[in-house]
Amino acid sequence: MTRTLTYALTALLAVSLHIGSAATAAATSRIKDLVSIEGVRQNQLLGYGLVVGLNGTGDTLNNIPFTKQSLQAMLERLGVNIRGATIRTGNVAAVMVTANLPAFGTQGTRIDVTVSALGDSKSLMGGTLLVTPLLSADGNVYAVAQGSLAIGGFSAEGDAAKITRGVPTVGRISNGAIIEREVDFALNRLSQVRLALRNADFTTAKRIASVINDFIGSEIAEPIDQSTVVLTLPKKYPLNIVSFLTEIEQLQVEPDLPARIVIDERSGVVVIGRDVRVSTVAVAQGNLTVTVSETPQVSQPQAFSRGGTTTVVPRTRIGVQEDGKKLLIVKEGVSLQQIIDGLNAMGIGPRDLITILQAIKAAGAIQADIEVM
């Protein structure tokens, strides 16, 4: 009996240690997922072009003047003069073309582009994008897009009915643009690198620097503010910062986040951080319900009566009911789980929860920031 009990306690201890280690591991993240390297970034590209080959679902040229002007200018560049002529085609649509130039994108490689209708086109299905230069914020052309569109939605209509699935006026061209210009950034020539935290926090920045210094064995990482950690290339990685970053981006760090409550009043979504704490406070929530019901009755005259008429006699019933007469005491320093359990016990929904949290914050009893989206 004693041996069996010893085995059971040993197994229970092993399971609890395993659960504790799993919880600790789940709380950590790679440095790769917490920071981004300054200078290693995408660049947004934008262009204006024409989509042709539409089956009568393009722009109405009389209503969309820029489509007509673009069509005329394109044909003139090809040697066709249509100035003053009447154009009635419905197979052309003006579009905006967007793309993201990846970091270290080399000349000649291809990237995906998104094509969106700009006028009153009904659908871009079956269309082909003509050569469209894609510019960055500096005004230079970094890529050129062209190709057949892939549309995820469709639209069909008749005389008395219409159905639309998805968005037929937005399409995508896989590998539809060719990079013509590269962004000059020599990462491998740098002697220092700045790591930018995606969620700025002093504690997280200090932990990242400590983990890197412990891994390298020297003080090469220094947090300079809540969102930046500066790394100096160690001597064991001479002029090879790529190998250095490959080593440190897999290190595990436990991020620290401020206590925060995020509220989306439009959808009723409430997200509460794990470190949210409240002081002692009493919460009461109630709803007043007023019910008005009409049950009119018909009054008939007696048999063989003279001058009697049938009339409708109104009958109205009004009821007043007040729900939620409970008063909940929230003790000081309770955790997130205790807050949720207590509010759920009162039968409070997301909408009422938003109001209660804001009221507790106004009373100064909640130790967290409330962000309303």
Q: What is the pLDDT of residues 115-147, one digit of tens each?
A: 999 999 989 999 999 999 999 999 999 999 999
The alpha carbon of residue 297 and the mean position of all alpha carbons in its chain are separated, in whole angstroms, by 57
Q: In terms of Cα–Cα distance, which of 320, 300, 295, 324 is closest to 310? A: 300
Give the tens place of pLDDT for each residue, 151-178.
Answer: 887 666 666 666 777 788 999 999 999 9
- What per-residue confidence (pLDDT) applies to 25? 43
Is 3.30.70 the CATH number for 186-253? yes
Dig out the tokens for 23 from the structure.
Answer: 């919880």
DSSP string for 12-61: HHHHHHHHHHHHHHHT-EEHHHHEEETT---EEEEEEEEEE--SS-S--T
Sequence-ordered alpha helix ranges (H) in 186-259 = 202-216, 241-248
Q: In terms of Cα–Cα distance, which of 270, 286, 267 is closest to 328? A: 286
Secondary structure of residue 272 in the 3-state scheme: strand
Give the tens place of pLDDT for each residue, 184-215.
Answer: 887 877 888 899 999 889 999 999 999 999 99
- The pTM (predicted TM-score) of the whole model is 0.67
- What per-residue confidence (pLDDT) applies to 307? 64
Q: In terms of Cα–Cα distance, which of 133, 141, 149, 176 is closest to 93? A: 149
Mean pLDDT of the chain: 79
Give the tens place of pLDDT for each residue, 349-368.
Answer: 777 777 777 787 787 777 77
CB–CB of 369/260 below 8 Å? yes
Give the tens place of pLDDT for each residue, 93-118.
Answer: 999 999 999 988 899 999 999 999 99
Using alpha carbons only, give the angle 116, 90, 126 rounded to the nearest 5 degrees: 55
> Which band of pLDDT confidence, cut at 50, 70 and 90, is reported for residue 17?
very low
Looking at residues 292-307, what average pLDDT do you find?
66
Neighbours of 359 (CB within 10 A): 14
Domain ranges of the chain: 43-179, 186-253, 260-296+312-372
Percent of the chain with pLDDT over 70: 74
Residue of 63 and 290 predicted with greater confidence: 63
Report which listed range, 60-74, 78-92, 149-163, is most confident: 60-74
Q: HSE on the CB side for 373, CA within 13 Å?
A: 12
- What per-residue confidence (pLDDT) applies to 2? 42
Give the tens place of pLDDT for each residue, 309-339.
Answer: 777 777 766 565 555 555 556 566 666 567 6
Secondary structure of residue 235 in the 3-state scheme: coil
> For the chain, how many residues are written?
373
